[in-house]
Amino acid sequence: MTDYDVYGTHTHTTSELARLLTGHLGLAFTERASDYRGVYQVAYDARGRIEVQPNALPRDAGDQDDQDDLWWPEHPTVQVFLEITTPHPDPILHRRLGSLTGLVHLHHEAW
């Protein structure tokens, strides 16, 4: 079974959240850049894949409006998302993440 969880914050930037998680969980993040996703951070360890993704996406060159496209449009006030994909439920990881100020659990899926 795979677990997928999403946390959000409006108090930390992408790089700030990656630094917090590095210190709190001992992760080594790598910065990635994508035309679609923009600049985001990703880390892999025994727990699985952990990504720090800004909500605002890069605008297309032809965009005529002043509105940012959002990674999760249903959460427009969230500045940054933490997306976690693990091979099984990890309650210890979620307790540790729950202790970080400004980070809120938003979504869970299991398949």
pLDDT tens-digit series, residues 94-106? 999 999 999 999 9
Q: What DSSP character marks residue 64?
A: -
Q: For residue range 9-49, what is the model confidence (pLDDT) as tens digits?
A: 999 999 999 999 999 999 999 999 998 899 999 999 988 99
What does each C-alpha distance from 108 to 6, 12, 74 come to in angstroms? 7, 21, 15
Per-residue pLDDT at 58: 80
Q: Binning pLDDT at 50, 70 and 90, where does residue 1 land?
A: confident
Residue 14 contacts residue 33 (beta carbons within 8 Å): no
| Cα–Cα distance measured from residue 17 to residue 63, given in angstroms and rounded to the nearest whole number | 29
Cβ contact 82:21 at 8 Å: yes
**Domains of the chain, start order:** 3-59+69-110 (3.30.160)
**Alpha carbon of 56 to those of 23, 45, 69, 79, 95: distances in Å?**
25, 27, 6, 7, 27
